[in-house]
Amino acid sequence: MRRAAIWLVWVLMSAACTPPGGGGGGVDDAAVGQPRSDGGLAGPDDGPADAEPASDAEPADAEPALDAGPADAGPADAEPADAEPARDAEPARDAQPAPDARLEADAQPEPEPEPDPEPDPPAEGCGVVVPQPDVEPEVGGRWWRVDDFPSDNVGPRGVTIMLPPGYGARPDARYPVMYLHDGQNLFDRRAAAFGVEWQVDEAVDGLLGAGAIEPIIVVGIDNTPDRIADYTPSAVAAFAGSGRAADYGRFVVDELKPWIDARLRTRCDAASTGIGGSSLGGLVSLDIMRRHPGVFGRVAALSPSLWWNDREALDWAGALADGFDGDTRLYLDGGNGEGDDPDGDGLRSVAADVEALFGALEQATGAFPTGLGMRVVPGAPHNEGAWARRLPAVLAWLWGPAVDDGPTGLAGAPLRAPLAPGIVSPVRVDAIWDGGPRLTAPPAAVELVNETPQIVELDGDAVTALRPGEARLRARHAGREVAIEFSVIADGQTLIAVSVPPATPAGATVFVAGSDPALGVWDPAGFALAEDGDGVWRGLLPVEAGAVFEFKITRGSWDTVEKGPDGEEIPNRIGVADGVPIEVDVARWVDVAP
């Protein structure tokens, strides 16, 4: 689907124009990269296997860890065994952008009129828009594509434009526009890093179908071998050529956006113009907002690399606040499975930096939750799958109805897992609105009460586990309250956390099937996990301390077992009951199309 529509139109036109006996080109289906193997034993879904463990080696070009800084070159923080490496821990992984020929072979063109590629008059209030440079897109249904969009500021790059359904049938309608960086990762898993895409088209169309957002145009801006240079706001000696975000921002604002506004029926005011990305893409989104106030009124920074250059971005709150008006919405988030934890408080550095910037912005704008939103996601790693799972909620908050009333509910959890005696963890509480956002409430605005002082000790917004047992806190915020229940585990108990793909059917239950008797000896419904929100399922495995076992993840049968990104068999996973949490990222299910 996605850009494949353009390719199919091209193929049909070529076939009509090729004389008898003429040759044709094929589609290169080679993947840009593959996820790391689990290192488990290869085997069929119906039982253990005898093959040797697969290699779990890092890619040979791995770069310094996400938050280590230039002096601490080394591997990134441990990811789940099957997760792709952290994006900005390995800058070189985007060095070869995927060619546009890497498309999904079974895609079909959209059954709607093609939009007219001739320019439409700009909307009122856009000023004089000059469509430079003068390039023509390939048009296929709702998809437009420019393979090499030229620029006087940065190197040429591909641009993919996704129009709303029915764009060509509504010639008088004008639409908001959302610009997203790292365009290869947005729409097509064959072009995406490690075969994992954000599923932007599925997310947008699902939200449209639910009436959660208005129709929007999405512009995916491909990265290039100069990704680090383009996405970084200042030069750092350890990263040669870095610090050209100002040039990249001028490309987006002065070249690409005017071309889009002149070619398409856009609404080009700030409240109708968004920009976003993850990791360094999140950082450059914030940088563009501060350098070009009043241009982008919808901004999303998922897991932004605020570590860059001694965390200089933590001083941007004042400049970012200058871009706020009554219609601005700025979203920040971070997973507590990203970065390191230098002070040992259980809040890892990506989430800690996001909270610090959010706190400064809240003080400067007072805009939470109507114009300023933030999430701290327990356990979430730094990879495309985690961002894809969060994307629908992010888009719903950016482009959905304004948040006027207070939350309808709360949810809370400690950020460190597992909690064992002596472990300290902050507790975060999310405010939830019906049909709307889920945002982490500022810690200072949440009242916490400890109802099990014999199990945990509460100090401010952090708990210290005292002894094994079931703990219970009560949280109050904005007139709502919720019970937060969690386990403090004993030595040798092992927690498992499974992240499932966004396409997981609603109402499904996730199971661990494995070789250990406690897991049912390959019963596909051997051990049921509990849903923990945000596409994560958790449980305490009942295996004996020190046991080594093989396992796979299912939805209750071998007809619903997990598979690799392209539907391929994956090795049996290996687990060790040593008290260290087991984290699994399911790429896809055998019975669910990606």
Q: Kindly report, residue by residue over 179-203, the tens digit of the pLDDT.
A: 999 999 999 988 988 788 999 999 9
Per-residue pLDDT, 59: 34
Per-residue pLDDT, 122: 64
Q: Based on the domain organization, do 480 and 496 belong to the same domain?
A: no
Q: The tokens 């956006």 sit on which residue?
A: 257
Residues in CB range of 360: below 8 A, 6 or more apart: 314, 317
The residue among 51 and 158 whose pLDDT is bigger is: 158
The residue among 89 and 422 whose pLDDT is bigger is: 422
Among 79-88, 216-225, 293-302, whose mean pLDDT is lowest? 79-88
DSSP 3-state of 534: coil
- Token digits of residue 263: 């070619």
Q: Based on the domain organization, do 468 and 509 belong to the same domain?
A: no
The residue among 394 and 108 whose pLDDT is bigger is: 394
Task: Give the pLDDT mean for 72-86.
Answer: 36
Q: Across all residues in the chain, what is the average pLDDT?
A: 82
- Token digits of residue 264: 């398409």
How far is it, in rounded angstroms, from Cα 584 to Cα 510? 12
Structural domain for 138, as ranges = 120-404
Q: The tokens 């437009």 sit on which residue?
A: 144
Q: Is residue 386 part of a domain?
A: yes
Share of the chain above pLDDT 70, in %: 78
Per-residue pLDDT, 168: 87
Q: Is residue 13 part of a domain?
A: no
CB 256 within 8 A of CB 221: yes
Instruction: DSSP letter for 415, please.
Output: S
Per-residue pLDDT, 57: 33
Residues in CB range of 565: below 8 A, 6 or more apart: 34, 35, 189, 194, 195, 196, 587, 588, 594
Confidence of residue 2 (pLDDT cuts 50, 70, 90): very low
At residue 236, what is the residue type?
Answer: V
At residue 515, what is the residue type?
Answer: S
Per-residue pLDDT, 491: 80
Tens-place pLDDT, residues 423-478: 999 999 999 998 788 999 999 999 999 999 999 999 999 999 999 999 999 999 99
Confidence of residue 535 (pLDDT cuts 50, 70, 90): confident
The residue among 119 and 586 whose pLDDT is bigger is: 586
Q: Is residue 478 part of a domain?
A: yes
Q: Closest Cα to residue 84, out of 28, 159, 42, 31?
A: 31
Tens-place pLDDT, residues 265-284: 999 999 999 999 999 999 99
Q: Based on the domain organization, do 268 and 181 belong to the same domain?
A: yes
Q: Is the pLDDT of residue 99 over 70?
A: no
How far is it, in rounded angstroms, from Cα 121 to Cα 260? 11
CB 393 within 8 A of CB 438: yes
- Kindly list the distances between the CA atom of residue 76 and the CA atoms of 62, 88, 116, 415, 592, in Å, as whole numbers in the listed order: 9, 9, 47, 20, 31
Per-residue pLDDT, 435: 75
Q: Based on the domain organization, do 129 and 237 belong to the same domain?
A: yes
Q: Closest Cα to residue 280, out of 303, 249, 246?
A: 303
Q: Based on the domain organization, do 326 and 380 belong to the same domain?
A: yes
Question: What residues does 539 pair with on adjacent strands?
Answer: 496
Q: Is residue 257 part of a domain?
A: yes
- Token digits of residue 237: 């000696």
Q: Is residue 577 part of a domain?
A: yes
Q: Work out the angle at residue 193's Cα, subtended by the Cα atoms of residues 398 and 503, and round it to the nearest 5 degrees.
A: 55
Give the torsion through C-alpha atoms of 80, 85, 86, 91, to 10 deg. 170
How far is it, in rounded angstroms, from Cα 56 to Cα 439? 36
Among 99-113, 118-132, 251-265, whose mean pLDDT is lowest? 99-113
Residues in CB range of 176: below 8 A, 6 or more apart: 214, 216, 217, 266, 267, 272, 273, 274, 298, 399
Please report, for the domain that includes residue 528, its CATH number.
Answer: 2.60.40.10
- Token digits of residue 503: 């396409």
Could you tell me the end-to-end alpha-carbon distance of the chain, in angstroms, rounded to an integer? Answer: 10
Question: What residues does 494 pair with on adjacent strands?
Answer: 541
DSSP 3-state of 296: coil
Q: Is residue 265 part of a domain?
A: yes
**Highest mean pLDDT pick, 307-321, 373-387, 524-538:** 307-321
Question: What residues does 53 pair with on adjacent strands?
Answer: 41
DSSP 3-state of 258: helix
Q: Based on the domain organization, do 399 and 483 belong to the same domain?
A: no
Q: Based on the domain organization, do 394 and 249 belong to the same domain?
A: yes
Sign of CA dihedral 379, 381, 386, 390: positive
Q: Based on the domain organization, do 454 and 509 belong to the same domain?
A: no
- Kindly list the distances between the CA atom of residue 502 and the CA atoms of 139, 198, 229, 541, 557, in Å, as whole numbers in the listed order: 29, 10, 32, 24, 19
Q: Is the pLDDT of residue 136 over 70?
A: yes
- Token digits of residue 158: 């591909």
Q: Is the pLDDT of residue 533 over 80?
A: no
Please report, for the domain that includes residue 469, its CATH number.
Answer: 2.60.40.1080
Among 219-233, 260-274, 483-497, whose mean pLDDT is lowest? 483-497
Tens-place pLDDT, residues 163-177: 999 998 899 999 999
Q: Is the pLDDT of residue 414 over 70?
A: yes
Q: Based on the domain organization, do 283 and 324 belong to the same domain?
A: yes
Q: Based on the domain organization, do 299 and 158 belong to the same domain?
A: yes
Q: Based on the domain organization, do 542 and 421 belong to the same domain?
A: no
Q: Is the pLDDT of residue 116 over 80?
A: no
The residue among 224 and 131 whose pLDDT is bigger is: 224
Among 2-16, 91-105, 244-258, 511-525, whose mean pLDDT is lowest? 91-105
Q: Based on the domain organization, do 157 and 277 belong to the same domain?
A: yes
Q: Is residue 374 part of a domain?
A: yes
Per-residue pLDDT, 517: 94
Task: Give the pLDDT mean for 359-371.
Answer: 95
Please report, for the domain that includes residue 152, its CATH number.
Answer: 3.40.50.1820
- Token digits of residue 1: 């689907």
The residue among 51 and 259 whose pLDDT is bigger is: 259
CB 323 within 8 A of CB 364: no
The residue among 351 and 68 whose pLDDT is bigger is: 351
Per-residue pLDDT, 64: 36
Q: Is residue 151 part of a domain?
A: yes
Confidence of residue 162 (pLDDT cuts 50, 70, 90): very high
Per-residue pLDDT, 436: 80
Preceding amide of 133 cis, omega within 30: yes
Q: Is the pLDDT of residue 28 over 80?
A: no
Share of the chain above pLDDT 90, in %: 63
Q: The tokens 């309808």 sit on which residue?
A: 408
- Kindly list the distances between the CA atom of residue 273 and the CA atoms of 270, 386, 562, in Å, as whole numbers in the listed order: 5, 25, 38
The residue among 536 and 114 whose pLDDT is bigger is: 536
Q: Is the pLDDT of residue 56 over 80?
A: no
Per-residue pLDDT, 331: 98
The number of distinct structural domains making up the chain is 3
CA atoms within 13 A on the CB side of 412: 30
DSSP 3-state of 42: coil
